[in-house]
Amino acid sequence: MRIISLNAWGGRLHEALIAYVRQADPDVLCLQEVLRAPCAAPGWSIYRDAGMELPQRANLFEEISAALPGHDGFFCPTSRGELFDGDTTIAAEFGLATFVRKSYSVIAQGLDFVHGQHACDGWGQHPRPRNAHCIRLFSHRHASTVTIAHMHGLRDPAGKGDTPAREEQASALVGLVERVWPRDEGLVVCGDFNVLPDSATFEILARLGLSDLVTANGLVDTRTSYYLKEGRFADYMLVTPEVKVARFEVVEAPEVSDHRALLLDIM
């Protein structure tokens, strides 16, 4: 099974992202920062915040779905706000997306907020709501099961250091996983956590027997050349001992976001 976790950056590197998703051909694709606006025309729109304007793909969820026709897609919104196409206002949702190859059966799942609650009347102030999605998959080929969860951790303008909200977020993630994962099979937890490697988040996740593959392999950078700030950690991939790792890679090329993709092949 191939699992990829990636912060899609709202699809700002759209062509490269779509090409990579098709080429990498993951069995499970865990995406953060995905937009969905079913009533909008395909193409580009603009996100505006505090004097900043960012190009976004308002229908990124549908575009990824079209690139992966052999997968079932699950969209998990955290908030609904406005994008702009010229003078036209577009109502769009923002959140997580999970894509699962149809040859696997989703036999259990959980979705919940790990920080805040659903916001339906605008993007709001930071730290904004964040959620996590957890799925339990059955492989018909191998007659085996695995549980996979991913999260987009809250963004704090003060930085990536530990806060009570981040510790509560990690505990909420553990609680969600425990509702789905039976503990007698492999568990993978991944995503853009928005924390540093010494965060208490990892002590909390260790209660599930999870250890991080990024720091364990001595890797110090999960960002691409499009990220110009200090602090190169954001994304993590954790596994329990039951997960048999065949390959793990923090993908340097192609660059499809300001985050690098995390690619895990398990036996």
Tokens of 203: 């002590």
Q: What CATH number corresponds to the domain at position 43?
A: 3.60.10.10
Position 50 pLDDT exceeds 80? no
Give me the pLDDT at residue 108, please: 98
Provide the pLDDT for residue 78. 97
pLDDT band with cut points at 50, 70 and 90 for residue 51: confident
pLDDT of residue 262: 98
Backbone angles phi, psi at 259, to 5 degrees: -110, 150
Q: Which carries the bigger pLDDT value, residue 157 or residue 149?
A: 149
**How confident is the model at residue 230, as a pLDDT?**
84
**Tally of domains in the chain:** 1
State how far the Cα of 134 lies from the Cα of 265, in Å rounded to an integer: 18
User: Which pLDDT band, with edges at 50, 70 and 90, does 41 fall under?
Assistant: confident
pLDDT tens digits, residue range 77-116?
999 999 999 889 999 999 999 999 999 999 999 999 999 9
Residue 143's pLDDT is 94
Angle, helices 14-24/60-67, rounded to nearest 10 degrees: 30
Is residue 197 over pLDDT 80?
A: yes
**Contact by Cβ (8 Å): 5, 261:** yes
CB–CB of 266/146 below 8 Å?
yes
**Domain boundaries, position 228:** 2-266
- pLDDT tens for 135-145 read 999 999 999 99
**Which pLDDT score is estimated for 176?**
98
- Two structure tokens written together for 56: 């976004």
Give me the mean pLDDT over the 217-239 stretch: 93
- Please tell me the distance from the alpha carbon of residue 201 to that of residue 179, in angstroms, as a whole number: 19
